[in-house]
Amino acid sequence: MRKVVGLASVPVAVVVAIVLGFALTGGAGQPKPGVVATSVPLPAVAGRTLGGSSFSPRAYHGHVLVLNFWNPYCAPCRGEATVLDLADGTLAPKGAVLVGVLFSNSTFPRDLAAARRFARELGERYPSIDDASGHIASAFSIRGIPTTVIADAGGTIRYEVFGALKPGELERLVTRVQRR
């Protein structure tokens, strides 16, 4: 009898794992992880950073722009934070601008204190915009996080990366964009 109960609980555990997986990544609308090449106009990116300063198109005009949508309660975002910080150290001297965007929805709450703590604990050197109204995420049709968008210096989005970046991946994509 005990084995039957154990086996009966296996489907329940699988269902719970699937539901949690959807909840933690943003839901069923989340695109498949990977890199997608694209060629669409870059919406204007502006807002208040977590540090209180303003970020506007003037900050990235004429430069490759890398936007990373994240939230401190997103486990893959935490794993990718070191990859982004290392990439920023390599890319900033080459003229690329990296900026985070604090994403929030019904799954990922807007928690500025946690976001600031996350950035401080992980030693992030690049700014992050507080997208309190969700207008930036909406303009980019963000359906899940982490998502990274790479635009060329002329204002065209060239790549979208769905899921956590792998070490070296961002540097390779930015180099491709800079060579165009």
CB 48 within 8 A of CB 130: yes
Domain ranges of the chain: 1-30, 32-179
Amino acid found at 160: E
Q: 113: which DSSP letter?
A: H
Measured CA distances, 76 to 59, 70, 90, 160, 175 (Å): 27, 9, 22, 16, 24
Q: What are phi and psi of 132, to 5 degrees?
A: -55, -40
**Burial track 6-20 (b if 16+ CB lie within 10 A, e otherwise):** eeeeeeeeeeeeeee
Q: Rounded CA gap, 87 and 46, in Å? A: 22
CB 31 within 8 A of CB 143: yes
Q: Rounded CA gap, 166 and 174, in Å? A: 14
At the top level of CATH, the class of 32-179 is: alpha beta
For 36-53, write each residue's pLDDT tens digit: 999 999 999 999 999 999
For 153-168, write each residue's pLDDT tens digit: 999 999 999 999 999 9
Burial of 158 (0-12, 13-18, 19+ CB in 10 A): buried
CB 139 within 8 A of CB 152: no
Confidence of residue 29 (pLDDT cuts 50, 70, 90): low
Position 15 pLDDT exceeds 70: no
